[in-house]
Chain A
Amino acid sequence: MTTRARVLVLVCTIVLLAAVATASVLHAAARSERKDRARPGGPGVSAGRVALVGGGGGRIVFRNMAWGPHRDELSSVPADRPGAGRTASGVRCLRFHAAAGTGICLQAVHGAVQDSYRAVVLDSRLHVRAHYAVGGVPSRARVSPSGRLATWTVFVDGDSYANSTFSTRATVLDTRTGKLIPSLEEFRVVRDGRPYHAADVNFWGVTFAADDRHFYATLATQGRTYLVRGDLATRTVTTVHDNVECPSLSPDGTRIAFKKRVKGLPADAPWRLYVLDLRTGRETALAETRNVDDQALWRDDSTLAYALPGDYGADLYTVPADGSGAPRLLMKAALAPVYLGTG
């Protein structure tokens, strides 16, 4: 083949491939418009005021996943009528949690080239009080029952250049003083009663006790996960149980809801929802038999809410916390709920 022929072949192929590439990008770009149009039969969403306190009666505030102009906005519905029309706040969050008038919202910041993420502390009217850059894709967020402490976990892609190692980073913030603990990896680890150091320690899914000092979280090292109890005053975490991920402490402080990696399940759907009694160490399997990858939320001392994959990303379900009953659909196209003004 002559050089001329080679160049011709190359140019023709490039033109062809460029057309394919352009078409795929345009197709994916058009998806954005489709998602900005409300689907017929979907929940009604209208713009309005959403607050974290007051308003009378119980409400659920959550990330609205329904397609339309208010997709990803924090929205609210009456707790007793979750299927009612949604009020959207205009504040977009990927992950959200709130307590006692303080909200934590993990959101994407669209940059010129790459999206970055930040954690935003919201006041009771969803106004930004402070924001912090985070170094990865948001995963979990929690606020302590008093509203003073906030925490978030992100996935950090540590080494995109050479290989695909992933790690998590769990951060704790005192919203009153602004004091930040960038990573729980700074804390001393006591495993099985002995000090423990390792490069591969990862933390995720922090949940706070009511005293604004103690917390529970998942610690992973050497391929195993542990439930740890942490102390912010002594900067120490201590392992208390095996095979616990994304713990969530009950309002009465006696139980931990968590996702457990159950043997024999497929590698990409390995988790079931369990409750651990902290006094007896007894685990109870809940009635949900599907794979749950979420940090469950205690609606009250007897019911848990959690997300499962759905047509619009995620749907919310509830299940009794004692292993009885059956899961019930709470609402479609929603994620990261909190119950306000109840109990």
Chain B
Amino acid sequence: MYVADSRASGAPSADGTARAPDRPGRRRAAVAPTVLALGTVSLITDVSSEMVSAVLPLYLVAGLGLSPLGFGLLDGVYNGVSALVRLVGGHLADRGRGRHKAVAALGYGLSAVCKPLLLVVHGLPLIGAVLAADRTGKGLRTAPRDALISLSSAPGAQGRAFGVHRAMDTTGALLGPLAAFLVLRATTDGYDAVFTVSFCVAAVGVLVLVLFVPGPARPPAAPARGRGPAPAAARPTLRAALALLRRPEIRRIALCALLLGLATVSDSFVYLLLQRRLGVPEGWFALLPLGTAAAFLLLAVPLGRLADRVGRRTVFLGGHVALLGAYGLLLTAGPGGVLPFAGLPYAVLLLHGTFYAATDGVLMAAASQSVPAALRSSGLALVQTGQSFARFVCSLAFGAAWTAWGDRTALGAFTVLLACCLLAVGRAPRGTPTTAPPATGTTSEEAPA
């Protein structure tokens, strides 16, 4: 079941089942306007936030003369807070109609006002507090935004919709640092200018959200007419949100994400390993995340569409096979390695980006199919938080393994672990298909590009 979006034009569609083409005689737009609007919001917001992230170390060291060490320690805490806030945001968004947009706007707005605050606070604790508020905003908005994306897309086109959104999001992440460094280049110690510009950009993002993302979708009566799974249970209470885990198909997806997350070594470690084992030169180190992002950007849409066609589960697992490949390359290379060819770092980054493109949006697309519309936001938040939690545990475990055994053995162990998790998940019964759209979807939704 899904709730079709109400278009910017405000024309409501007829019912909660399959959506008729927009205008008779014309092919339905490939991606819903709401998704494009949300993609634009994410693009703009990411330009804004990545502008700040890109210059923050420089600002702390060169601008304020602070020592940034130990700052990273708090990062895990922030990410933990952000994951919890995500659950809260997801739950809040499901309570009452049209709350998705309101909660998302609150999240985007909170992050936006943090930018000028960076200008006025100067001590490390206060800067930490502002960054925590910024993360809180990010946590709040993620689940309602993803819920809006899924609610405004046809069941058979969820993968594509999330792919388009993630590609736009990543484009912003790539443009942000560029914008920041152009500002720094044009000025002297222009950190204040970077923060001001970042705020202006963020404000535009919030405005686009408020103006162009439709609010309350439809009266809640509509879903009852769908033939999707257990429509009656769709009362957005906290208990109902937790009861989602009793649904086998959601539990399966959450467990799958959790299990694979436990073997997903964090980005920082991947880049560290790249540098140590493949000898990536100093000057390139900061560019490694851009390599992953570029591959993610290019592959998000094709892999999202592939997920719609061959099954989200297949593509999701395939993404982890790509990650397994990246681990394998890192293992076989390095000092005394057997694969000393120059393109190896590129291959690792390509596989790493493929992993994100095949898993990030695709997981949301898969989860969307099992969560009733009324609990969409909570359900997505639940799956995301489970995954983040698993990855956090994995980071701690990987750090400990590195300490105990050294980088190569640790990576070897986690490669085996990932392979085992993949086998376990791959062999598990599929149950309710996460592949094909549910019965309410019609093939007419699968509009070719």
A293 at the interface (CB under 8 A from B): yes
Please tell me if B444 contacts chain A, counting CB pairs below 8 Å: no
Closest CB in chain A relative to B271 CB, distance in Å: 6
Which of B144-152, B201-209, B304-312 touches A? Answer: B201-209
Q: Is B75 an interface residue (CB 8 A)?
A: yes
Q: Which of B21-29, B97-105, B157-165, B187-195 is found at the contact surface with chain A? A: B187-195
Partner of B187, one of A29, A136, A164, A220: A29
Q: Quick check: is A31 within 8 A (CB to CB) of the other chain? A: yes
B405: which A residues are within 8 A, CB to CB? 197
User: Is B431 part of the contact surface with A, judged by Cβ < 8 Å?
Assistant: no
- The reply to whether the CB of B281 lies closer than 8 angstroms to some CB of chain A is yes
User: Bound state CA distance, A115 and B131, in angstroms?
Assistant: 25
The answer to whether the Cβ of B84 comes within 8 Å of any Cβ in the partner chain is no
> What CA separation (Å) do A153 and B155 show in the bound complex?
53
Evaluate contact between A29 and B72: CB separation under 8 angstroms.
Answer: no
How far is A200 from B395 in the complex, measured between Cα atoms in Å? 12
Given A25-B187, A28-B187, A160-B54, verify A20-B72 contact (CB < 8 Å): no
- A135 partner residues in chain B, CB cutoff 8 A: 281-286
Q: B162 → chain A, closest Cβ, in Å? A: 19
Q: Are A267 and B61 in contact (CB under 8 A)?
A: no
Within 8 A of B (CB), among A78-124: 110, 112-116
Interface size class of chain B, counting residues whose CB lies under 8 Å from the partner chain:
35 or more
Which of A112, A135, A182 has the largest number of chain B CB atoms within 10 A?
A135
Contact of A157 among B50, B196, B286, B410 (CB under 8 A): B286
Q: Which of A110, A199, A293 has the most CB atoms of chain B within a 10 A radius of its CB?
A: A199
Query: A198 near B403 (CB under 8 angstroms)?
Result: yes
Which of B173-181, B225-233, B242-250, B373-381 binds A?
B173-181
CB–CB B56/A29 < 8 A = no
Q: Does A167 contact B (CB under 8 A)?
A: yes
* Least CB separation from B407: chain A residue: A199
CB neighbours of A164 from chain B (8 A)? 53, 56-57, 71-72, 75, 131
- Counting chain A residues whose Cβ lies within 8 A of the other chain, the interface size class is 35 or more
Please, how many angstroms separate the alpha-carbon atoms of A164 and B131 in the complex? 10
Q: Which of A20, A29, A161, A220 contacts B267 (CB 8 A)?
A: A161
Q: Report A-chain residues with C-beta under 8 Å of the C-beta of B66.
A: 268, 293
Q: A167 touching B125 by the CB < 8 A rule?
A: no
Task: Compute how far the CA of A273 lies from the CA of B286 in the bound complex, rounded to whole angstroms.
Answer: 33
B288-296, B339-347, B412-420: which lies at the A interface?
Answer: B288-296
Q: Would you give the 0/1 interface string for A16-40, flagging 1 where the beta carbon is closer than 8 Å to chain B?
A: 0110110011011101100100000
| Contact between chains at A268 and B57 (CB < 8 Å) | no
B residues less than 8 Å from A10 (CB atoms): 204, 207-208, 211-212
User: Are A20's CB and B212's CB within 8 A?
Assistant: no
Which of B79, B285, B399 gathers most chain A CB within 10 Å? Answer: B285
Q: Which residues of A have CB within 8 Å of B125?
A: 266-268
A113→B124 contact, CB < 8 A: no
Cα distance, A293 to B185, chains bound together (Å): 27
Interface string of B196-228 (1 = CB under 8 A from A): 110011011001100110000000000000000
Establish whether residues A28 and B267, one from each chain, have CB atoms under 8 Å apart when the complex forms. Answer: no
Find chain A residues with CB under 8 A from B272 CB: 158, 199
In the complex, chain B residues whose CB is within 8 Å of the CB of A289: none
A161 CB, nearest partner CB in chain B, Å: 3
B282 touches A134 (CB 8 A): yes
Most buried by B among A133, A134, A165: A165
Interface string of A185-213 (1 = CB under 8 A from B): 10000000000111110100000000000
The answer for the CA separation of A163 and B79 in the assembled complex, in Å, is 9
Chain B residue at minimum C-beta to C-beta distance from A135: B282
Interface of chain B residues 252 through 299 with chain A (CB within 8 A): 266-269, 271-272, 276, 281-286, 289-290, 292-293
* Interface pair B271/A158, CB less than 8 Å apart: yes
- Judge whether B123 is part of the interface by a CB distance below 8 angstroms: yes
- Check if A159 sits within 8 Å of B187, measured CB to CB: no
Q: How far is the CB of B64 from chain A (nearest CB, A)?
A: 9
CA distance A167 to B285 in the complex (A): 12
A9 CB contacts on chain B under 8 angstroms: 207, 211
**Mask: chain A, 29-73; 1 = CB below 8 Å from B; 0 = not:** 101100100000000000000000000000000000000000000
Pick the residue among B188, B201, B271, B402 that contacts A198 (CB under 8 A): B402
Q: Contact residues of A with B, CB < 8 Å?
A: 1, 3, 6, 9-10, 13-14, 17-18, 20-21, 24-25, 27-29, 31-32, 35, 110, 112-116, 133-137, 139, 155-169, 182, 185, 196-200, 202, 220, 223, 266-268, 293, 309, 313-314
Interchain residue pairs A-B with the least CB separation, the first 4: A135-B282, A161-B289, A28-B187, A28-B190
User: Which B residues are closer than 8 A to A by beta carbons?
Assistant: 8-9, 50, 53-54, 56-58, 61-62, 65-73, 75, 78-79, 123-125, 131, 173, 177-178, 181-190, 192-193, 196-197, 200-201, 203-204, 207-208, 211-212, 266-269, 271-272, 276, 281-286, 289-290, 292-293, 398-399, 402-407, 410
Known contacts A20-B200, A24-B192, A113-B178; 11 additional CB pairs below 8 A are A13-B207, A17-B201, A27-B192, A114-B185, A158-B271, A162-B266, A197-B404, A199-B407, A202-B69, A266-B125, A267-B125
